[in-house]
Structure 1
Amino acid sequence: MKSSLLLALGSAALTLTALGVTAQAQLMRGHDSNAPVNFSADRIEVQDRADRVLVSGNVHVTQADLTLDSTRMTVAYRNAGGIQIDRIDAAGNVRIVRQGDTARGDVAIYDLNAKIITLLGNVELMQQGNRLTGGRLTMDLNTGRSTVDGRAAAGAGGTTTSSGGRVSGTFTVPQRESK
């Protein structure tokens, strides 16, 4: 009994290490960040002189098999012989979904040049029944590596959000036959 409990705790610790603070999450592995970005919303305002687009109300963005939903969004671009999106800042009930995996947060920053998506404030990552929560989630589209930490983060309007400085999670355990 004692050895099986230690084995289970060891297995959980390995899972926590693999999926916890430095999560080798598959959410973004293989995502095509060069695919066209399509969006729809209740309102779109183009600010040509500032090289940005303000999008608000039921914002829905797709890029390849990734979707990003939020209340509002700012798209920064440059016009270099054609429109090139550099960065997307989303705020308000941000949700990113890819292949059934979901990440949520208060604010998201998608740097298309660096190929990094960062979610800030009340972050939650759900993958195949596993759940992680924290203050910040960073998803590197180059490596497919995601990192969750509990640090407080600056949110929209300069507000500060925090998850108590800790990462917490729930991991599913495969059902094993009793011996």
Structure 2
Amino acid sequence: MFAAFAAPAHAQISSEGGPIYINSDRTESLERERKVLLIGNVDIQQGDARLRANQVTMVFASKEGGGAGTVGGSFGQIESMTAEGDVFYVTPELKAKGERGVYVAATDTITMTGNVALMRGRDVAEGEVLKLEITNRRTTLDGGDGRTRMMIDPDSQNGTND
């Protein structure tokens, strides 16, 4: 089974904003809990950003008026998304992978954990916790054990984009 729908535009996995397009093998709507479970080959796209994972749980903020929605209707604004299993986040500027990723709308951040790798062009950084502040365009990598590893290729820094 293949599910696809566009979510409200306030959640941001892309600094461009816009509609969010979601594909997965299965979608479960938990209306009373204001959750949508996306299971199997999850692929989420917004603008020039893409998030892929084995499973994603989307939590929606309470709607004014108290009405509940359905997958075909509107839940309201996305409060958070938790991606688990082979998580990949890709934009034109960077590629990141990890075991788990959490997006929080209130802070507009994505935090990836578990054997994290971040690639920008031919430069690579590895650690345990990666925090991406979408709007601020700020990236922080923590080694977990106090150490991060990096490989920077100065020859790829010729002023052109890879």
TM-score in terms of structure 1 length: 0.70
Within 2, Cα distance between the matches of 1:132 and 1:120? 13
Pairs within 5 Å for 1:49-68: 49-68=32-51
TM-score in terms of structure 2 length: 0.77
Structure (1 or 2) with the greater helix fraction: 1
Within 2, Cα distance between the matches of 1:94 and 1:57? 12
Contact 1:106 1:123 in 2 (8 A): yes
Alignment counterpart, residue 87 of structure 1, candidates 69, 80, 83: 80
Question: RMSD of the alignment, in Å?
Answer: 1.9
Pairs within 5 Å for 1:1-179: 31-32=15-16, 34-80=17-63, 82=74, 83-99=76-92, 101-151=94-144, 164-174=145-155
Residue ranges of structure 2 left out of the alignment (5+ in a row): 1-11, 65-73, 157-162
Residue ranges of structure 1 left out of the alignment (5+ in a row): 1-27, 152-163
Larger radius of gyration: 1
Contact 1:135 1:165 in 2 (8 A): no
How many aligned positions are there? 134
Q: Which structure carries more relative contact order (alpha carbon 8 Å, separation 6+)?
A: 1
Deviates more, 1:164-173 or 1:59-68: 164-173
Give the percent of matched residue pairs that are identical in Structure 1 and Structure 2.
28
Q: Look up the SS of the partner of 2:40 in the other structure.
A: strand
Cα shift at 1:100: 5.5
Runs of 4+ in 1 over 3 A off after TM superposition: none
